[in-house]
Amino acid sequence: MDKIRKFGTAPVFFTAISTILGAVMFLRFGFAVGMVGFLGTLAIILIGHAVTIPTAMAIAEIATNQKVEGGGEYFIISRSFGLVIGATIGIALYLSQAISVAFYIIAFTEAFQPLFQWIIQTFHLPHWLEWLLLQKQTVGIPALLLLTFIMLTRGADLGVKALYVVVATLGVSLVAFFLGQTEYAQTHPFDPMATVANPVDFFTVFAIIFPAFTGMTAGVGLSGDLRDPGKSIPVGTLAATLTGMVIYIFIAWKLAASAPPEALADTSRLIMAEIAWQGRWLIPLGLAAATISSALGSIMVAPRTLQAIARDRVMPLRAFNLWVSKGKGPNDEPFNASVVTVLIAGAFVLMGGLDAVAQIISMFFMVTYGSLCLISFLQHFAADPSYRPRFRSRWYISLFGALACFGLMFFMNAPYALLAIVLMSGLYLLLVHTNPDKRTLAVIFQGVIFQLSRQLQVYLQKAKKERTASWRPSAIAISEDSFRRLAAFDLLRWLSQKYGFGTYIHLIKGYLSRSSHQEASRIKQRLIRIAEASRSNVYVDTLISPSYTSSIAQAIQLPGVAGTENNLILFEFSRSKPDKLNDIVDNIKLVKAVDFDMAILSSTERGFGLKRELHIWITPADYDNATLMILLAYIIMGHREWAHAQIRIFALFPQATIREEKARLLTLIREGQLPIAPHNIRFIARQEDRELRHIICEYSADADLVILGFRDEAVKHLGTEVFQGYDEIGNILFVHAGEVKKIK
């Protein structure tokens, strides 16, 4: 059965304004003016609204972009950040709303203190009755039960009607306050900087007063009962926020002009009652109206937040989700959620004092407001074409609101701010554990990362290219054997873990068609799972091409995924079945045409062994490749899987020229052309009757990876023979530098 939506903009406005002009205004606003003066209080109002106005604008923006269902702020956050994050913030928001019911009920009892004091002073009462009249629970519990009865039997419809009555009463009391005259106002000039002799610090006062401004989102909780949330929420919320700010400025002025700072700062006096016309009875009546209306607003909104969370089936207890999500009647009243809310509120009413709890409530409200501003900012930054709100805030306003929220939390009370963050982090981890299928933190920044990547790549392409002494690999690996051999993928993930970038392409031989495209999509998902399982930073993709040569031609023309041009291509062949080696050799000339560095991995069944020994061989013909070989070795060593490995460098020269070659090599090292230390090199004199391959196999028989250089001239003359004849050792990486890497 469809829910009947009958409310317009007025309930949103009155729910918000009645929560804004609540208990703090009557009980603590005079305290603020006495402690920090009119100008200090004005600063508190402006700083507080530097948080609330951006939040109100963010809510108005988001509400005019999407259909806002039941749950208000929770619905907005969960549909923007995902259900897990939405529920984390939503549960904190709900607890704040539920405990706020108790806070307002206890504040409501303050309105009866003058009456009870008069009764105690006028009549001779037993001690137990005097004690009972002085307890806040004497009025608080019956008031909570009465509100509960109203909400559970008549629902939000009667609650909204009652809201109009209490708002009217609140308005009368404010008019009486502004009409009041005092002797102090007539005999003392207005001093905007007057304070008590020893005031408390500014942010302590701010922390006490700030809850006065945390009410503008109260009307959002009625979203599921509104005919047109996209219109009513922006208009009602912004109007209530701005109206509340103006009223608070005039109240601060009236208080500062009507009473001395010492009287204002005395929290035992209801100073507004002493200033107002007929204040002895109108102000307590207004206090009762303000607090009961705030409690009424909270008791309408909190159950709807809990019901919306339960209907998303996010909370760990499934039976609890089902029970709380049930509505009652044609208006789908959250009956069961109201029962839970009243039980929580009742527990805190019985506890009595809520000063510490009220500060934690403020922390959770600040987290909620900051999240709403952050959503607005991220939506602006992500530039999602589906984000087209009728009302638009500005990205810098939303960013300022988010930063102000999270910063003020620590200025208000750093321990409570840390406690709130720890509690919400624990709740988030619990919900992630119990909802593995739901979207988590990754969803927040997808659009933002896309925009950052897009703008950075365009910037890097337009930026003036300068040659630097620093080189890092931006490598492409292309293979048909992704699911038969992982050697190329492993090597690429080691190269791209810290210092470089890697793109792994699985080649599908054939022509592009619907069936080959579907196959490519399936294979890509398999590759992504492999990348996730190995915790790699490799970007994976597929390529459909009719031949190996055409696939290489396409691959070397691809733009780099990191905004830099690709500079290295990695080939791989199996030494036991070297059928791919011919294709690789045939395409070396093609790769040379674009001056790419080349790495050809000769893989064996032995694999990379224990990852403890990495050998580099330098010969007189390898000076052009030596720097690249050494850099690649150090980059591989930077990966955690090679953390316990050591590099051994062998310099192999003919015996007749070893002195000259050794001196030359050491000169290159001293000049910084080779990034190694002399003591890390072992010089070997090669006898003319011994083949190079045999010497390498002798010294590197136990190496887990051997790095050798190769020259394209040798490949032209010898072909595949350059890469063969090393059967006694494990994996070999043959390296050719497109240009000499000079280290300056």
What distance in Å separates the CA atoms of residue 408 and residue 47, rounded to the nearest whole number?
A: 9
The structure tokens listed for 270 are: 């209801």
CATH number of the domain to which 412 belongs:
1.20.1740.10
406 plus 525 within the same structural domain:
no
What distance in Å separates the CA atoms of residue 740 and residue 71, rounded to the nearest whole number?
A: 63
User: What range defines the domain where residue 558 resides?
Assistant: 464-736
Query: Whose CA is closest to 159, among 145, 147, 171?
Result: 147
The position carrying tokens 């937040």 is: 305
649 plus 706 within the same structural domain:
yes
What distance in Å separates the CA atoms of residue 111 and residue 108, rounded to the nearest whole number?
A: 6
What distance in Å separates the CA atoms of residue 215 and residue 77, rounded to the nearest whole number?
A: 18
305 plus 383 within the same structural domain:
yes
Are 206 and 47 within 8 A, CB to CB? yes
160 plus 18 within the same structural domain:
yes
Residue 155 lies in a domain: yes
Residue 3 lies in a domain: no
Residue 467 neighbours by CB under 8 Å, 6+ apart: none
Provide block-wise average pLDDT over 10 residues at a time, the chain (744 residues).
Answer: 60 79 81 91 91 84 66 72 80 82 75 69 72 64 71 58 75 90 88 87 82 72 65 82 92 92 83 86 81 74 86 83 81 80 80 60 78 81 68 85 87 81 84 69 63 68 56 89 92 87 92 93 93 88 93 87 79 91 93 92 92 90 85 89 89 82 78 69 82 90 94 90 91 91 62
What distance in Å separates the CA atoms of residue 505 and residue 486, rounded to the nearest whole number?
A: 13
Domain stops at, among 442, 477, 500: 442
What distance in Å separates the CA atoms of residue 735 and residue 629, rounded to the nearest whole number?
A: 6
419 plus 480 within the same structural domain:
no
What distance in Å separates the CA atoms of residue 609 and residue 572, rounded to the nearest whole number?
A: 17
Query: Whose CA is closest to 548, among 445, 479, 630, 596?
Result: 479
How many other C-beta atoms lie within 10 A of the C-beta of residue 548?
Answer: 18
Residue 743 has what pLDDT?
A: 57
What distance in Å separates the CA atoms of residue 502 and residue 692, rounded to the nearest whole number?
A: 32
206-236 as b/e: b if 16+ CB within 10 A: bbbbbbbbbbbbbbbbbbbbbeebbbbbbbb
Residue 1 has what pLDDT?
A: 42
Residue 336 has what pLDDT?
A: 85
The position carrying tokens 């709380």 is: 324
Residue 454 lies in a domain: no
How many other C-beta atoms lie within 10 A of the C-beta of residue 5?
Answer: 15
The long-range contacts involving 526-531, CB below 8 angstroms and separated by at least 24 positions, are 526/483, 527/482, 530/486, 530/489, 531/493, 531/504
266 plus 360 within the same structural domain:
yes
What distance in Å separates the CA atoms of residue 156 and residue 26, rounded to the nearest whole number?
A: 26
Query: Whose CA is closest to 172, among 289, 263, 297, 27?
Result: 289
What distance in Å separates the CA atoms of residue 330 and residue 326, rounded to the nearest whole number?
A: 12
Residue 537 neighbours by CB under 8 Å, 6+ apart: 493, 496, 497, 501, 502
417 plus 485 within the same structural domain:
no
Residue 296 lies in a domain: yes
Residue 101 lies in a domain: yes
105 plus 57 within the same structural domain:
yes
Query: Whose CA is closest to 675, among 721, 616, 726, 717?
Result: 616
The long-range contacts involving 640-645, CB below 8 angstroms and separated by at least 24 positions, are 640/497, 641/494, 641/611, 642/494, 642/611, 642/614, 644/611, 644/612, 645/611, 645/612, 645/613, 645/614, 645/704
207 plus 101 within the same structural domain:
yes
| CA end-to-end span of the chain | 76
pLDDT per residue as tens digits for the range 191-203? 888 888 888 888 8
- How many distinct helices (H) and strands (E) make up the chain? 28, 10
What distance in Å separates the CA atoms of residue 536 and residue 113, rounded to the nearest whole number?
A: 67
Are 117 and 318 within 8 A, CB to CB? no
pLDDT per residue as tens digits for the range 244-267? 899 999 999 999 999 999 988 887
SS3 category, 137: helix
Query: Residue 573 phi/psi, 5° resolution?
Result: -140, 155
Kindly state the DSSP code that residue 700 receives in the 8-state scheme.
Answer: T
Residue 477 has what pLDDT?
A: 94
Q: Where are the alpha helices (DSSP H) in 64-125?
A: 73-81, 83-109, 113-122
Give Cα separations from 337 to 140, 141, 304, 561, 571 (angstroms): 21, 19, 7, 50, 62
Residue 2 has what pLDDT?
A: 47
Residue 419 neighbours by CB under 8 Å, 6+ apart: 360, 363
What distance in Å separates the CA atoms of residue 399 and residue 378, rounded to the nearest whole number?
A: 9
Query: Whose CA is closest to 251, among 270, 272, 236?
Result: 272
263 plus 123 within the same structural domain:
yes
Residue 197 lies in a domain: yes
Are 89 and 424 within 8 A, CB to CB? yes
Residue 175 has what pLDDT?
A: 92
What distance in Å separates the CA atoms of residue 127 and residue 262, rounded to the nearest whole number?
A: 33
CATH number of the domain to which 647 belongs:
3.40.50.12370
Number of independent structural domains in the chain: 2
Are 332 and 304 within 8 A, CB to CB? no
336 plus 408 within the same structural domain:
yes
Are 3 and 275 within 8 A, CB to CB? no
Q: Which residues pair with 683 in a beta bridge?
A: 651
SS3 category, 742: coil
What distance in Å separates the CA atoms of residue 574 and residue 583, rounded to the nearest whole number?
A: 13
396 plus 512 within the same structural domain:
no
Q: Which residues pair with 707 in a beta bridge?
A: 616, 733
Residue 645 lies in a domain: yes
Residue 358 has what pLDDT?
A: 62
The structure tokens listed for 589 are: 């000339």
Residue 348 has what pLDDT?
A: 77
Give Cα separations from 648 to 203, 485, 677 (angstroms): 62, 27, 11
The position carrying tokens 């904190």 is: 92
- Environment class of 275 (CB within 10 Å of its CB; exposed 0-12, middle 13-18, buried 19+): buried
Domain stops at, among 409, 442, 475: 442
Are 377 and 399 within 8 A, CB to CB? yes
Residue 55 lies in a domain: yes
Query: Residue 681 phi/psi, 5° resolution?
Result: -105, 135
